[in-house]
Structure 1
Amino acid sequence: MRRMDNGNKDRRIKWLILLIPTITIGLWEYVRHAFLLPYVSMDLGNLLAPFIVLAVTLTLVRSLFTRMEQSQMALQREKEAKAALEERESLARELHDGISQSMFLLAVKLDQLDELSREEPVRELAGGLRETVRVMHEDVRQAIANLRQPPSPESAAWVVPLRELLGETAELTGARAEFVWTIRDDGLTDKEKIELHACVREALVNVRKHARASHVYVIGEPDGAGGFRCRIEDDGVGFGGDPLQAQGRFGLRMVRDRAEAMGWSFLAERRGDRTVVELAKRGKRAEQP
C-alpha cells in the first residue's frame, strides 16, 4: 500500500513537472494580452517569456524534483529493507529445515542409545550429549526467531560493540547494566558512528575508574527532528568539583573535544542520584524557525 502511494505521488509530481512550464506560458500570454498589452510591447513580452519560465522552473519545478528524489530514495530504502527481511526469512527456513531437524533426529537417536545400553558410562555419555544437543537446539530456535523478527536499532552491527563495552564495564565493576538504543542505523553517518563509539568508550572507562557505581546505563535516542541524544549514566559517587578541570582526568575532556569537533553539544552533570554524560546532535528540523 505504501509503495502504491509513493508511486501515485511520483506520477503526480512528474505530471506537474511537465505541465508547469506550459501553464506558466499560457498564463503569461493571457495576462499579457488581457491586461498588459498597452504597457508591454510584443517584442518585450516575447523576451520576458523565457525568463518567467526559468524563474518558475527554479522555484516550483526544482522543488518538485527534490521531492521526487526524496520519494525515490525512500522507495529504495523500502526495497532494501524488504530484501533484507526476505533474506532473513530464507535463512530462518534453512536453519529450521536443515540444522534444527537434524538436531532433533540426533536427540531421538541418543534416546534410543540410552534405552539400549545397560552400561552406566555409556548412559552418562548419552545423557551429556543429549543435554548439549538440547542447548544447541534452543540456540538454533532462538536464532530462527531472531531472524524472523524485523531488525531493531540495537541489533545494528556497529551498535553491538557499544553493548559489549557496557557489559565489560558491568563485569569489571560488579554493576548492573542497562542498554537502551533506538537511534536508527541510517540516522548517523559513518563518521558519526565512529566518533560516538569513541565517546561512549571513554565515558565508560571513566565510570570504571572513578564512579564505584552499582548501576550503569547507556541510552541512545532520536530527538524527533533528525538529531539524537546519547547519555551515559551511573549512580556512583559523582563529581568532586568540575570534572573537566580535575587533575589527571583526561577522559571526559577527550569526550568533550570530540563532541565539539563534530558540532555536538556536551554536558556532564549530576541529576538526582545519577551522574550523566550527555552528547546531543541537534536535528536540522529543530534548527528551522
Structure 2
Amino acid sequence: MDNPKKDGRIKWLILLIPTLTIGLWEYVRHAFLLPYMSMGLGNFLAPFIVLAVTLTVVRGLFGRLEQSQRALQREKESNASLEERERLARELHDGISQSLFLLAVKLDQLDELVAQGPVKPLAEGLRETVRVMHEDVRQAIASLRQPPSPAEAAWVVPMRELLGETAGIAEATAEFNWSIPDGGLTDKEKVELHACVREALINVRKHAKASRVNVIGEPDGANGFRCSVEDDGAGFSADPLNAPGRFGLRIARDRALAMGWTFQAERRGSRTVIELRKPGKESAHAR
C-alpha cells in the first residue's frame, strides 16, 4: 500500500517548507537585497512570506493529506465489509449448510425404511422444505463469497440478477428501476440494502405466486433513498412480520431498523409492497 509512504512524504514537506522558506528568504536577502532593504524591514517581511507560502503550498499539502486519509478510511471500511461477508459465508457453510445436508441424508434413510404409510408424505414434505432451505443457504454463501465489484454501481448487478432468477422461477415478468446514486450509499448501506432486497425477493418466490415483480430504487432527498419490492401476487393473509415461518422478512426488518431506516410490508391496492426508506435531509424537513 502506497498511502502510508505518500502520507509520510507529505508530512515531512509540511514540516520542512516553512523552515526552507525562512532559510531561502534569509539567503536572498543577504545575497541580493541587503543594499536595498534594511535589516528591520527584512525581519518584518519574513513572517508574512512564511504565511503566504503556508496559505498556498502547505495548505494544498494539507488538503492532499486529508484526501489520502479519507481514501484510506474508505478502503479500510471496504475491507472490513468483505471480511465480514467471508466470515458469514464460512459460518453458513460450516454450520447451517452442513446440518441441512445431514438432515436431508437422514430423511432419505427414513424414506427407505417407510416406503408406504402416513409417514411417507410427511417425509417428502420435510425433504422439500430442506431442499428449499439448502438452496437458499447455498445462494447466500455464493453471494457473500462473490461480493460486488468496486467498480461504480457494480454492486447493483447481483440484485438485478436475483430479480431475474425470481421471475424465472415464478414465471413472472420482472422490471428493475434503479436510480440511487452509487456515491450516496456507504459500503455498509450497500451490503445491508442488498441483503434486505434479497430477503424480499425470496419471499416473493416462495409465497406470492405473482405474475409481475418490480424492484424500485430511487433517491429521496439529500443522501436518502426509497427502495421497494412490489408484486401482484396473493398478498399477505395476516401480518407478515408475525406470521409463523416468515423469518426472512423479520430479519430484513431488523437489519433495516438497525441502520436507522423504515421498513414496511403491506398491501397497497392490487400490489404487495415491501419498502425500505432512508429519509434524506430535504424530505425529513418536508415531513
The normalised TM-score by structure 2 is 0.57
CA distance in 2, matches of 1:64, 1:110: 67
Paired residue for 2:27?
30
Q: Which runs of 5+ in 2 are unaligned?
A: 167-171, 187-218, 231-281
CA distance in 2, matches of 1:137, 1:176: 25
Q: Select the residue among 128, 132, 136 that pairs with 1:131.
A: 128
Q: Select the residue among 59, 75, 87 that pairs with 2:56.
A: 59
Deviations 1:177-209 (A, max 9, x none): 134568324469984243x64xx99xx9xxxxx
Q: Select the residue among 160, 175, 178 that pairs with 2:176.
A: 178
- 2:139 pairs with 1:142: yes
2:70 aligned partner, one-letter code: M
Deviations 1:202-241 (A, max 9, x none): xx9xxxxxxxxxxxxxxxxxxxxxxxxxxxxxxxxxxxxx
- 2:46 pairs with 1:49: yes
1:86 aligned partner, one-letter code: E
Paired residue for 2:250?
none
2:182 aligned partner, one-letter code: R
Paired residue for 2:222?
192
- 1:192 partner SS: coil
Paired residue for 2:67?
70
Paired residue for 2:16?
19
1:177 aligned partner, one-letter code: E
Deviations 1:108-164 (A, max 9, x none): 0000000011324322221221121111101001111111222464768xxx8xx99
1:192 aligned partner, one-letter code: A
CA distance in 2, matches of 1:142, 1:40: 79
CA distance in 2, matches of 1:175, 1:95: 31
Deviations 1:66-108 (A, max 9, x none): 1101111111111111111111111111111110000000000
CA distance in 2, matches of 1:82, 1:135: 32
Identity of aligned residues (%): 68
CA RMSD, 1 decimal = 3.3
Deviations 1:40-69 (A, max 9, x none): 111100111111001101111111111101
Contact kept? 1:25, 1:53, Cα under 8 Å: yes
Tell me the matched-pair count.
Answer: 186
- 2:108 pairs with 1:111: yes
- 1:177 partner SS: strand
The 3 A distance-change label for structure 1 pair 67 and 47 is same
CA distance in 1, matches of 2:173, 2:24: 72
